[in-house]
Amino acid sequence: MKYVPIDYATVKSIYEKSGLSSIGQASIREVKKLIGQIEEATGEEFVKMEMGIPGLPAMQTGVDAQIEALQHGVAALYPDIQGIPELKNETSRFIKLFLNVDVAPESCIPTVGSMMAGMAIFMTVNRMYPDREGTLFIDPCFPVQKQQCKILGHTYESFDVYNYRGDKLREKIESYLKTGKITSILYSNPNNPAWFCFTEDELKIIGELADKYDVIVIEDLAYFGMDFRKDYSKPGVPPYQPTVAKYTKNFILFISSSKIFSYAGERIGSMVISEKVWNTRAPGLKRYFSSDILGNALVFGSIYALSSGTSHSAQYALAAMMKAVNDGEVNYRDQVIIYGEKAKVMKKIFTDNGFKIVYDKDLDEPIADGFYFTVSYPGMTSDELLEELLYYGVSAISLSITGSEHTEGLRACTSLIRPDQFPVLEERLKRFHEDHK
């Protein structure tokens, strides 16, 4: 039996009993459950890097506003499906002040997190045209969004963008759009899991192609402003968070509150729909909705059917948090930059111990330090590495569930690790490296 920091036999037995056919194919929540069981059985704390939970307290402005709204009795009332005016106005201001893009408050719709935004958008956008089939995912991506398409019975396409950065992106995306089967393109920026950020030139390519082939770009800004190489956090002052909305009118943006405001628990976000997309008439929608106008079908069809709107009090919370950053009273970046600081230290611990950063560049510039980073260990597949690290008390998720073509890589999340765990991570990875050199 080998000596490893976490009892080998216990880990082996829990893993075997878990029923997982392969740890590499386990979902984020399955990995979380497995780690919880191992911790309970061994009494050893893991260095947990599998799940993207905010590691910070929720923004106090939101908590205060939500309590106040509850005390005023909003819990008893159904909120309007299209959202409370305060939130719609602040979202529209937020988009102007931090992206320099104009959108009307009417087309800023609160959602039960960006998760629900995805479901509602797939349900609607993928049904606009009977002869089109689904979304093109620019991989690697947040796996549950593909799961949403699968659940809805929609087909989708995807490709790993690693080898198609810069000008090569045009030809690659166009090869899918030419088929005439694609309704929409989805990516996250900064990217979950790889933390690369598309350049302005790349966003321009995506925008131009969206116009040429009349497809809708769904830009998922779950990690808004967290490319810490730049400061996008001053309201109304450049530089602005890069966005495809500068290059096309065919856009839908997802603004999650989970990470920038650490408000994941209340499941509240916003989707922002361009005027052009909102007013698009698509006869195919009539098969499922009473209106053939996309905005109406989305709100009074999909969102009504899914949840009849979004938690009333949480809308007041998000409105207050957005107002605070819009008015310059609170700087969201100051509150979350700790993720970048932790990533810097963690990446060094990994690379000092034989690991490599998988997605390491935005063209010729090193990627930013932020919420996630990706690592591999030479000669080990993702599955082997993930399983082996369990015995060293370190958890992550495999890149293979994210659509990455890298068969040797893991995604590590910086949020939950505490600075006092850095020496533990270092010691465990040193040991791992000694055992595997």
Ligand X SMILES: Cc1ncc(COP(=O)(O)O)c(C=O)c1O
Cβ atoms of residues 255 and 269 within 8 Å:
yes
195 binds ligand X (CB under 6 A): no
188 binds ligand X (CB under 6 A): yes
Cα pseudo-dihedral 147, 28, 369, 323, rounded to 10: 70
| CA 77/CA 108 separation, integer angstroms | 21
Q: Residue 31 is which amino acid?
A: V
Residue that the structure tokens 């000669």 belong to: 379
Closest listed residue to residue 429, CA positions, set 351, 341, 342: 351
Total number of residues that touch ligand X (CB under 6 A):
13
At its nearest, how many Å lie between ligand X and the CB of residue 432? 27
311 binds ligand X (CB under 6 A): no
What radius of gyration do the chain's Cα atoms show?
A: 22
207 binds ligand X (CB under 6 A): no
Is the bond into 105 cis (omega within 30 degrees of 0)? no
Structure tokens at 56: 């910070």
Closest listed residue to residue 111, CA positions, set 307, 288, 252: 307
Cβ atoms of residues 366 and 403 within 8 Å:
no
115 binds ligand X (CB under 6 A): yes
The two beta strands, 251-256 and 394-395, are unpaired
Closest to ligand X by CB, 282 or 318: 318
- Any residues with CB less than 8 A from the CB of 253 and at least 6 apart, and which? 95, 99, 219, 221, 243, 245, 271, 272
140 binds ligand X (CB under 6 A): no
56 binds ligand X (CB under 6 A): no
262 binds ligand X (CB under 6 A): no
| CA 152/CA 147 separation, integer angstroms | 9
Closest to ligand X by CB, 146 or 312: 146
Structure tokens at 214: 């009349």
Closest to ligand X by CB, 256 or 311: 256
Question: Among 56, 70, 81, 264, which residue sits at the site for ligand X (rule: CB under 6 A)?
Answer: 264
110 binds ligand X (CB under 6 A): no
Closest to ligand X by CB, 370 or 393: 370
At its nearest, how many Å lie between ligand X and the CB of residue 266? 10
Closest to ligand X by CB, 198 or 392: 198
Closest listed residue to residue 315, CA positions, set 77, 122, 115, 119: 77
For residue 187, the surrounding DSSP H or E stretch is strand 182-188
Closest to ligand X by CB, 113 or 301: 113
315 binds ligand X (CB under 6 A): no
Closest listed residue to residue 408, CA positions, set 384, 437, 372, 432: 384
52 binds ligand X (CB under 6 A): yes
- Binding string, 378-417, against ligand X, x = CB under 6 A? ----------------------------------------
113 binds ligand X (CB under 6 A): yes
Question: Among 46, 98, 142, 350, which residue sits at the site for ligand X (rule: CB under 6 A)?
Answer: 142
Phi, psi of 108 (to 5 degrees): -105, 110
258 binds ligand X (CB under 6 A): yes
Question: Among 220, 227, 266, 369, which residue sits at the site for ligand X (rule: CB under 6 A)?
Answer: 220
Closest to ligand X by CB, 207 or 269: 269
Closest to ligand X by CB, 140 or 393: 140
The two beta strands, 356-357 and 372-376, are antiparallel
114 binds ligand X (CB under 6 A): yes
At its nearest, how many Å lie between ligand X and the CB of residue 223? 7
Interface ranges with ligand X (CB under 6 A): 52, 113-115, 142, 188, 192, 220, 222, 256, 258, 264, 269
